[in-house]
Amino acid sequence: MLHVDCVKCGTRTPRGESFEIAGRTLCFACANQFAQENPTLESEQIHRMTDPTICVNCGADGGEKEHSHLAKLPTCDKCEVFFRNRPFPTWLKGAMAVVALAVVVAFARNWRFFQAIHENKSGFVELAQGRDEEALALFESASRHVPEEHDFSILASYCRGLHFLKEDNCAEALLQFNVCGELPPNFGLEELRFHAGAGTAFDAKDYSRFLSLAEGWEANHPDSAMAVAQTASALACKYSATGDKSFLTKSLEKLKKAGELDRKELEENRFAERILFRLKSREVITLKEYERRFPEKQNWELEGK
């Protein structure tokens, strides 16, 4: 055990029972008095001195030999072995087991959410690359895993609508798009609904409905060649069905306007060509039937025009 002298009273006291205050070594009594006389003294300035020869745990006295330090505190060899190899108490082991079990149970119960999130992200990747069938399978799986999350089912309906539209099943496509609610503009849902609705009216030979939808779409997109051409197409259907020459005249006017906006686009998809065939023959056929009959580009001329 080491001893130090109090700088105030000169008493020799064990180092572990002495204090260092503002850089001064004091015994307990003098340290207490000094603190009372200096109320503004900060706690950071008061330090209890440690004796490196006294074990902080069991108090074993090493004489003049200092103990090794554990966590910056003097610790005898026996106590150091105890601290370093101390077994966890039973209650702590039990608590750790309960926590581990809770983590496993929580992970298992929420695994479906992790799956759904992964499938949702993968679905967007497939959708961005134009693989709507693969995206549909992923969104449907995500929806099955988390049926309470309606966004997944909406995305599945969107992909299902794309699939039906590609298959020319416009009526089913429209049903799917109508349950999608509102999606961000980059999904193009407004245009898809128009094409599905117009296609449904066309398939049902409801050309008045087709014309009404086309005129509404053109009104919202007056600078789009294809929007104007859709009105021309609907007017051609009305002429084919009724023989009313006013529909013929209006259809040709719209077709001319569409060509002025973007003739190349109308020629690339043979859209203008098909409208002229409809006006010339007064026969309304599908795109597939037209391409079957006329695999090569045609130059239809209307008599008297």
pLDDT of residue 104: 63
Q: How confident is the model at residue 69 (pLDDT cuts 50, 70, 90)?
A: confident
Q: Decide if pLDDT at 142 tops 80.
A: yes
End-to-end CA distance of the chain: 122
Q: How confident is the model over 17-31, as a mean pLDDT?
A: 83
Q: Decide if pLDDT at 181 tops 90.
A: no
pLDDT of residue 14: 85
Paired residues of 68 in beta bridges: 75
Q: How confident is the model over 276-290, as a mean pLDDT?
A: 93
Q: Among all chains, which residue has been given the structure tokens 């370093």? A: 84
Q: How confident is the model over 210-235, as a mean pLDDT?
A: 95
- b/e 102-116 (16+ beta carbons within 10 angstroms → b): eeeeeeeeeeeeeeb
Q: How confident is the model over 243-251, as a mean pLDDT?
A: 95
pLDDT of residue 106: 61
Rounded CA separation 149/299 (Å): 53
pLDDT of residue 91: 62
Rounded CA separation 7/10 (Å): 6
Least confident of 30-34, 159-163, 227-231: 30-34
